[in-house]
Chain A
Amino acid sequence: MTHPVASRAPTREGFVAHLGRRSLEAGRALADISTWLPLLMGQMRRLGVDSVPIALFIAVFTGIVLSLLSSYIFTGTVPLYFVGALVGKTIMMELGPVLTGMALAGRVGASIAAELGTMKVTEQVDALETLAYDRYAYLVVPRVLAATMMFPVVTAFAVAVGVASGWITAINLLDLSSTEFLKGLKQFYQFKDLWFGLVKSASFGGAVALMGCLRGLSAQGGAEGVGQATTRAVVLGCEAILVLDAFWALVLL
């Protein structure tokens, strides 16, 4: 016989109640500052600072390819100093935040989901609760806040390095001087280009960390369950980045 609770179909009231409970839990966890604040710096270092090398690696090659591609497209039709404009705008507004976000969705999302998933299946999360800690305040809030704050910082470094590598490529491999590259870069630059990318990357950070935490905390079984939670966290993190990317483009441009 099926248990009555198990057989009950989800209702709109049930969903609203669930959402309400979750919001209440999130609010309570955020208010528990004494629990999450001491953990915040460690997570900022782990999720942000430790992610800088991979983000810079991607940025270097993105800048090179973008510079070469734009010169290929512009040759004979558009003045070549537009290479600077295209490299700058594209890296600041789109490729910097999105590629960094995707790379960090793999690194940060997977690491969070695997860590929390292992803690869940080995009863460490239950142990935390028996020691009177709120699991969301201790595990979720510092990770989500750290990622939200650090993704823009990592993205800013990636943007700087990407533009610099595009510039170096342009003056060494293309028939372009520094003056011409910078002319293109400056002529079309708006402050909005920069903050638009950074706002996006903050939202990517929050989403990636939240997916990692929620999938990790819902892991069941043993190693297989943790593996599934990790894969799902990375996929959901990447999907969230793409959806948010479109959202911000619609809202802010």
Chain B
Amino acid sequence: MILLDNLTKTFGPRTILNGVSLEVPDGQNTVIIGASGAGKSVTLKLIVGLIEPDGGRVLVDDEVVHDLDREELAALRGRIGYVFQFAALFDSLTVAENIQLGLVKRGFDGGVIRERIEESLAVVDLSGTEDKLPAELSGGMRKRVGIARAIALKPRYILYDEPTTGLDPITATVMDRLIIRTRDLGVTGLVVTHDMRSAFSVGDRVAMLYQGAIRQVGTVDEIQASEDPVVRQFIEGRPGPELVEPVARRSVG
């Protein structure tokens, strides 16, 4: 289980997270929604130890992430797949080489690596693209390769950073189905997005991040029935003073 405990994070004068606490239960997809710049991606990076919190703790399987040494952190990252917003595929490597990279680091032999590459590409419906370079793929295909790279390691958790951003509705739906399919394979998912259609489609639980803290957390039905004006405005895409003013402050700050 992933547990965020009173996390705080500041960049210069800007406080991004101000006491975020959240439990990510095993075997479910938890979705964090919130406006752009609310700290959703920062939260994901804190979980894999790419950045350190100023206060609070991140626990993954009862281990405090920022107390781990380099080797322990590498082992932890072996259990967490990360799908980046723009896929972050290595430009100079083919699709197969991108997927292979993490497997080589973990010492798998050639046969297992080939098997895992085939399996993971089949899951994302991209069999046959092994020798293509990322530049030859569409945005949606790149994101699916990003998922294939993550699932090839057979992780316990996958963190998805804005998986449907910039995709057409059809490709976005394909991505949603993949995220659900991955959960059904037993992988715990943590998705950050501001795409409400996607959030309600893939999420078992939804948490709203607002002004550096979790405003509300609940099932999809609970969030859809929320009477909190901030949550209502966000999920209905209706700009109100509570949402517009903080965004305006951020953009001038």
Contact = CB atoms under 8 A, between A and B. Distances in A.
A252 interface: no
B162 to A, nearest CB: 12
Interface stretch (B76-84, B168-176, B189-197): B76-84
Interface string B81-122: 110111011110000000001100110000000000000000
Interface of B: 10, 12-13, 15, 45, 48, 50, 54, 70, 74-75, 77-78, 80-82, 84-86, 88-91, 101-102, 105-106, 149, 153
Given A122-B86, A127-B84, A6 B13 contact: yes
Contact of A124 (B78, B85, B90, B153): B90
A21 B91 CA distance: 30
Contacts of A128: 90, 101
Given A1-B13, A3-B13, A124-B90, A130 B77 contact: yes
Contact of B88 (A2, A6, A35, A127): A127
Interface of A: 1-3, 5-6, 28, 35, 118-119, 122-124, 126-134
21 contacts: A2-B13, A3-B10, A3-B12, A3-B13, A5-B10, A6-B13, A118-B91, A122-B86, A122-B88, A123-B85, A123-B88, A124-B89, A126-B45, A126-B82, A126-B88, A127-B89, A128-B101, A130-B77, A131-B102, A132-B74, A132-B77
Contacts of B89: 124, 127
A133 B12 contact: no
Nearest to A118: B91
Contact of B82 (A6, A35, A130): A130
